[in-house]
Amino acid sequence: EAICVAADVTRLAEVQRAVDEAVATYGHIDVLHNNVGITSQGGPVETSEDTWDRVMAINVKSMFLTCKCVLPLMEAQKAGAILNIGALGGVRWTGYAYCAYAASKGAVNSLTQSIALQYAARGIRANCILPGVMDTPHIYGQIAGFYASTEEMVAARNRLSPTGRMGDGWDVANAAVFLASDEARYINGVELLVDGGMHARCN
């Protein structure tokens, strides 16, 4: 079963309304999965102040707001799992000039660890998943401009991974399901790289 609630995740009132609707429907919240984010091309010189603020609001502030609304509920029930989607670009250079995106995903890592340690004794876990090169619809609009053709982009990104292929949404989803489950009950505050070994082989 599922319900669909539209909300601007950068606005506290809308986030609270979405949380309230979930509680009204199901009675409680066991898992919070923050899977939202945008990219923006450009380094510090090319990135406008408005773009920087928008990326930070959507990629970081949204996770702060959802946690702000959900943590009191989890604390009251003495249980809960929070999963935040970061990115490999938040811990190392990936070949694309995405300074705002990289900074925002680095902030997601720090936010996750802070929550994990503050709330560990209260039965709440928080972990961060860091996808690497992924084959998703998003890349065909955002990254394709770096390459002469779609085929060249796919081939180049496949070569970045030691496995010889990009990952996909299911690779990330499987990691999320595991971290949300009781099988991961003693895993807290981690940054789980889902990157085919990219980070392990790179400086």
Q: Report the pLDDT averaged over residues 111-118.
A: 98
2: confidence class by pLDDT, cuts 50, 70, 90: very high
Q: For residues 181 and 176, what is the distance between their CA atoms, to the nearest angstrom?
A: 9
User: Which residues are designated catalytic?
Assistant: 101
Higher pLDDT, 153 or 64: 64
Q: For residues 104 and 94, what is the distance between their CA atoms, to the nearest angstrom?
A: 15
Q: For residues 2 and 23, what is the distance between their CA atoms, to the nearest angstrom?
A: 12
Examine the pLDDT at 161 and tell me if it is beyond 90.
Answer: no
Examine the pLDDT at 162 and tell me if it is beyond 80.
Answer: yes
Predicted local distance difference test score (pLDDT) of residue 200: 62
DSSP 17-53: HHHHHHHHHHS---EEEE-------B-TTTS-HHHHH
Examine the pLDDT at 21 and tell me if it is beyond 70.
Answer: yes
Q: For residues 47 and 51, what is the distance between their CA atoms, to the nearest angstrom?
A: 6
Q: What are 69-79's pLDDT values in tens digits?
A: 999 999 999 99
31: confidence class by pLDDT, cuts 50, 70, 90: very high
Answer whether 152's CB lies under 8 Å from 109's CB: no
Q: What are 36-56's pLDDT values in tens digits?
A: 999 888 999 999 999 999 999
Beta-bridged to residue 130, according to DSSP, are 193
Q: What is the mean pLDDT of the chain?
A: 92
